[in-house]
Amino acid sequence: MCAPLDEPVLSRAGLPERVARIDLGAIQANVERIRSMVSPSRVMAVVKANGYGHGMVPVAQAAIRGGAAWLGTAHVSEAVELRGAGVSVPILTWLHTSETDFDAAIRSGIDVATSGWELAHIAQAARRLEQPARVQLKIDTGLGRNGATAENWDALLGQALELQESGLIRVTGIFSHLAVADEPHRTETDEQLAKFHEAIAMAEDAGLDVEVRHLANTPAALSRPDTHFDLVRVGIGMYGLSPFEHLSPADLGLVPAMTLATVVANAKNVPAGHGVSYGLRYTTPEATTLVLIPLGYADGIPRSASGGPVLVDGHKRAVVGTIAMDQLVVDMGRAYENPGDLVGSEAILFGADGEQPLADEWARAAGTINYEIVTRIGPRVTREFVNSAEPQTPGEAQWQITVSTDSLEQTQSVAAQFAQALRPGDLIILDGELGAGKTTFTQGLGAGLGVEDGIISPTFVLQRVHRSLRGGPDLIHVDAYRLGEDPDALDSLDLESTLDTSVTVVEWGKERVEYLTPNFVQVSLRRETASPGHTHPADAEVQTDFSAEDEDQRTITFRAFGERWRGKPPQLTGAE
Ligand SMILES: *Cc1c(COP(=O)(O)O)cnc(C)c1O
């Protein structure tokens, strides 16, 4: 069916509505750069607070690819999540309460910092688990937060040595944190450095031999080689942002990793004297085009950041009026002839460089620092990871279920039930040997989604599109089997362009298409083998011993990954 001639066909361009695009290649390069600047000291990549808002696990993996030897988080729970995702490098955690799960830290081989009071809790957990804890001692050299005071340092050393001798802990490090390294002219850094040297000397005199001593954060790593010791703890720099007020990322050889983008929600012309947003704190000085941006303080854009920059239609324009919970308004500075043309175009709040605004400009508008701008980007903004040098290895599954079926029809029925849980943007990755029933399963999905039938094995066409017959998502059916030999072939399918609006099913897709999105369901189909000979080609003759029913028995395992699949798995009914 064609639309009438005078009615334009409306289609979605496939832009994510609100996205923080994270350049993992930039993170890797930033870590490599800082590593080369501080060598032979090593780098601890600080990935607390969801990787400063960038997405903790992918960022940690990119940092490790860039040569980070350690990871650092504030909370034990953050480090446990990293271990769950398969991260094996040493991790230090430094902010605990009496409610902290030190047992989990010990079980996962996570280093815990102590200022003093934690030692009793840590020792108790170690005794319970009969496993020594890895502990780092923190000295307060002047910041006035965590860390033992100079007066208590000797006592802390004594206690730690005693617990080490009894086998309950191993003291792996000594560290402190700087207060003013981002202002290189200030002398307090020298005083903190002198106190740190003193604390280390005392520990050595007491007989402690540690793996790592560390003091520097990003600004000290970049400006004070005398603070590098064995390790530098780098946060903001690895995300490509500058900790110094008067130096840009480019000045430091760093590349900002986060681009915050959205789509213009509305655009219209208004006359001079038109008020804008709550409180009517802005009035248009002349006739102009106002553009509505669907991001607000619920998404982490500070309400106080009126005046902040947005790149729309190739121009950097300022936010005018009060920033609301979900939206903000930009004055384009002139009246467009067709303001409606701006609707649906991309708007960039901050990004890498060149014409895009920097997070620092938002920080200035809000009277804060770039750290806060990126870290507070909220959960309604999708994180999209690009330029990963390696295929992304999925983190822990949100859930896993296994269903048995004993006929082809039942396999299709389970797939059709599963289809009820699907929506546009979903990616299903099928695996299982030849004849395991991947195409049968896809036929069931198609029936459940209500798409055109005619689903057959796509082996020789690579990709088929089955249109929805009821206004739902189309089904894209792909065979990645032969693509394994030809990496360009996968690109040429351009799955990205249809991913957001369709349900995409990829046979043989495991470890080939996970880079497309962090959200996907792996479906593994296995034939029930009644005898060990059943799958062995040499025993082909004995297969006549099996009834047709045995041939059709399957176990189907669903493993769901990514935020999209958080929550309960769907209820699927197969064989009893
Ligand atoms: C957050 C943090 C860092 C990282 O600081 P940046 O300025 O982002 O490099 C280092 N050490 C500790 C103890 C921290 O809490």
Percent of the chain with pLDDT over 70: 92
Atom of ligand 1 nearest to the CA of 218: 9
3-state secondary structure 528-552: CCCCHHHHCHHHHHHHHHCCHHHHC
CB within 8 Å of 359: residues ≥ 6 apart? 241, 256, 258, 350, 370, 373, 374
418, pLDDT greater than 90: yes
Distance 142 CA to ligand 1 centre (A): 15
For residue 385, is pLDDT > 90?
yes
Q: Identify the pLDDT of residue 394.
A: 62
pLDDT of residue 453: 83
Query: Dihedral of CA 387/389/390/395: which sign?
Result: negative
Q: Residue 541: what pLDDT?
A: 39
Using CA positions, which residue lies closest to atom 13 of ligand 1?
Answer: 177
Average pLDDT over residues 153-168: 98
Predicted pLDDT at 246: 92
What is the CA(346)–ligand 1 centre distance, in A?
33
User: Residues 518-522: what's their mean pLDDT?
Assistant: 91
- Cβ–Cβ < 8 Å for 340, 377: no
Q: How confident is the model at residue 486 (pLDDT cuts 50, 70, 90)?
A: low
Residues with a CB atom less than 6 Å from ligand 1: 46, 48, 94, 177, 217-218, 233-237, 243
**Residue of the nearest CA to atom 4 in ligand 1?**
235
The pLDDT value given to residue 454: 83
pLDDT digits (tens, 9 = 90+) for 203-237: 999 999 999 999 999 999 999 999 999 999 999 99
- Mean pLDDT of the residues in the chain: 91
Which of 218, 233, 239, 372 is the pocket-test mutation for ligand 1 (most atoms within 8 Å of CB)? 233
Residue whose Cα lies nearest atom 6 of ligand 1: it is 235
Categorize the per-residue pLDDT at 487 as very low, low, confident or very high, splitting at 50, 70 and 90. low
Q: Residue 505 phi/psi, 5° resolution?
A: -115, 125
Is residue 403 scored above 60 in pLDDT?
A: yes
In this predicted structure, what is the pLDDT of residue 85?
94
Query: How would you write 308-331 as a 3-class SS string?
Result: CEEEECCEEEEEECCCCCCCEEEE
Residue 268 has what pLDDT? Answer: 98
Long-range pairs for 282-285: beta carbons < 8 A, 24 or more residues apart: 282/306, 282/320, 282/321, 282/329, 282/331, 284/331
Compute how many other C-beta atoms are within 10 angstroms of the C-beta atom of residue 545. Answer: 12
Q: If you measure from the C-alpha of residue 109 to the centroid of ligand 1, how many angstroms do you get, rounded to a whole number? A: 21
In the prediction, which pLDDT does 460 show? 66
Q: What is the pLDDT of residues 242-263, one digit of tens each?
A: 999 999 999 999 999 999 999 9
Residue 282 has phi, psi (to 5 degrees) of -135, 140
Give the atom of ligand 1 at the shortest distance from the alpha carbon of 371: 8
* Residue whose tokens read 């004849």: 435
Q: Which atom of ligand 1 is nearest to the CA of 219?
A: 7
> β-pairing, 463-466 with 474-479?
antiparallel
**Model confidence over 165-180: pLDDT tens digits?**
999 999 999 999 999 9
Asked whether residue 428 carries a pLDDT value surpassing 80, the answer given is yes
Give, using CA atoms, the residue closest to atom 12 of ligand 1. Answer: 177
**Cα 501–507–511 angle (5° rounding)?**
90
Q: Give 389's pLDDT tier (boundaries 50, 70, 90).
A: low
Q: Please, which pLDDT band fits residue 532 given cuts at 50, 70 and 90?
A: very low
Instruction: Report the range of poorest mean pLDDT among 126-135, 302-311, 319-328, 490-499.
Output: 490-499
Let me know: does 284 contact 290? Beta carbons within 8 Å: yes
Minimum CA distance residue for ligand 1 atom 8: 235
Q: Which helix (DSSP H) or strand (DSSP E) does residue 186 occupy?
A: none
**What mean pLDDT do residues 414-419 have?**
95
Ligand 1 atom with least separation from CA of 233: 10
Q: Tell me, what's the pLDDT at 534?
A: 39
Helix (H) or strand (E) holding 523: strand 520-527
- Spot the catalytic one: 195, 278, 282, 336: 278
pLDDT digit string, tens, across residues 50-86? 999 999 999 999 999 999 999 999 999 999 999 999 9
Pick 575 or 481 by higher pLDDT: 575
Q: How confident is the model at residue 568 (pLDDT cuts 50, 70, 90)?
A: confident
Of 69, 370, 402, nearest in space to 214 by CA = 69
Give yes or no: 48 in active site.
Answer: yes
What is the whole-number distance in angstroms between the Cα of residue 235 and the centre of ligand 1? 6
Q: How far, in Å, from the CA of 82 to the mean position of ligand 1?
A: 18
- Asked which of 99-103, 374-378, 482-486 is least confident by mean pLDDT, the reply is 482-486
The stretch 346-351 carries a mean pLDDT of 97
Q: What pLDDT score was predicted for residue 3? A: 54
- Ligand 1 center from residue 216 Cα (angstroms): 8
Q: What is the pLDDT of residue 530?
A: 46
Ligand 1, residues 54, 213, 217: which to mutate, most atoms within 8 A of Cβ? Answer: 217
The larger pLDDT score, comparing residue 317 to residue 8, is at 317
Least-confidence region, from 131-140, 213-222, 364-373, 394-403: 394-403
Whether residue 392 has pLDDT greater than 60: no
Is the overall model pTM greater than 0.75, yes or no? Answer: no
The pLDDT score that the predictor gives to residue 542 is 37
Based on the residue annotation, tell me whether 278 is a catalytic residue of this protein.
yes
Answer yes or no: is pLDDT of 284 > 80: yes
